[in-house]
Structure 1
Amino acid sequence: MKLSTKGRYGLRAFIDLAEYEGVGPVSISSISERQDISERYLEQLMAKMKKAGLVKSVRGAGGGYILARKASEISVGDVLRALEGSVEPVTCAAFHPEETCTVKDRCVAKHVWQKVNESVTATVDGIMIDTLIKETNQKETNQKEENQKKYRM
């Protein structure tokens, strides 16, 4: 599956926002600076995530964006669907009644596509945003400890 910049940048921005959960609204400009994503593009991405019910906007001085739900309740799949639409790498007409396929009843490949789609969906839906943040923080802590050990020698 090849994600567009919407999915890649949007997920980065969403994780950045989630890291500041509980601190208050996070401004587009602060996310832009930390993630090196243009403010205009972030505004478009946040609008999509707001429409999907993943973030809320807070107006006024000190305003910005906050998560609409806890990071532990939002999966990578939720974010990618809000930004990209379907997360299926293969659209097979055999599993979408609105599409037509002349060989769907005798097609063997459809079973491969179904397994691929199910695997991708299970993977992105099984990764919660809070888990990503915890893993990232742990890796950064481990890296800092390793660097400190090197300099003490």
Structure 2
Amino acid sequence: FARLRKNGLVQSVRGPGGGYRLGMDPDTISVGQVISAVDESVDATKCLGKGDCHGGTQCLTHSLWRDLSERISSFLGEITLGELVRQADVRRIADKQDHHLKSVVTLGDRGEQHSNLSLKVQL
């Protein structure tokens, strides 16, 4: 979360029930921004774009994979978190995961039970 916070995508919330919340309107944050903020790559080339994939030289299909990487990056840059969470299947899966997180979790050898375990992402 530190990288997301550094890029202004989330803000920390202190105190009981604290955690993180979005730092901007979800309709202004693209999936591409999130991926970039955490230093992940969507590069489909074997050489990570360096062009040295075939024994130090460019392979035959390098430009194909490079172009695919650019299209993926562009596509993810056009989808906002707001658009994503409005999709019915995303909502259904999120609700299912939230229900699972709220269920009783048994921890340790003593069988201690802890309830109300929940992860909330406010949009």
| Structure 2 letter corresponding to 1:47 | A
State the match for 2:50 in structure 1. 93
Give the CA RMSD over aligned residues: 2.8
Q: What TM-score do you get using the length of structure 1 for normalisation? A: 0.47
Distance change >3 Å, CA 73–CA 108, structure 1 → 2: same
From 22, 27, 45, give the equivalent of 1:67: 22
State the match for 2:74 in structure 1. 122
From 53, 58, 73, give the equivalent of 2:13: 58
1:103 has 2:60 as partner:
no
| Structure 2 letter corresponding to 1:63 | G
Q: Are the aligned partners of 1:49 and 1:82 in contact in 2 as well (CA < 8 Å)? A: yes
Identical-residue share of aligned pairs (%): 31
State the match for 1:132 in structure 2. 84
Q: Are the aligned partners of 2:43 and 2:66 in contact in 1 as well (CA < 8 Å)? A: no
Gaps of 5+ in 1: 1-45, 95-100, 141-153
Aligned equivalents of 2:80, 2:36: Cα separation in 1:
14
Aligned equivalents of 2:69, 2:90: Cα separation in 1:
31
Distance change >3 Å, CA 53–CA 138, structure 1 → 2: closer
Number of equivalenced pairs: 88
Distance change >3 Å, CA 129–CA 92, structure 1 → 2: same
Aligned equivalents of 1:54, 1:69: Cα separation in 2:
6
Greater strand share, 1 or 2? 2
Q: What TM-score do you get using the length of structure 2 for normalisation? A: 0.56
State the match for 2:114 in structure 1. none
Shift of 1:139: 6.8
Shift of 1:79: 1.6
Aligned equivalents of 2:75, 2:89: Cα separation in 1:
21
Shift of 1:124: 1.4
Aligned equivalents of 1:58, 1:129: Cα separation in 2:
20
Aligned equivalents of 1:84, 1:135: Cα separation in 2:
26
Gaps of 5+ in 2: 93-123
Aligned equivalents of 2:91, 2:18: Cα separation in 1:
31
State the match for 1:83 in structure 2. 38
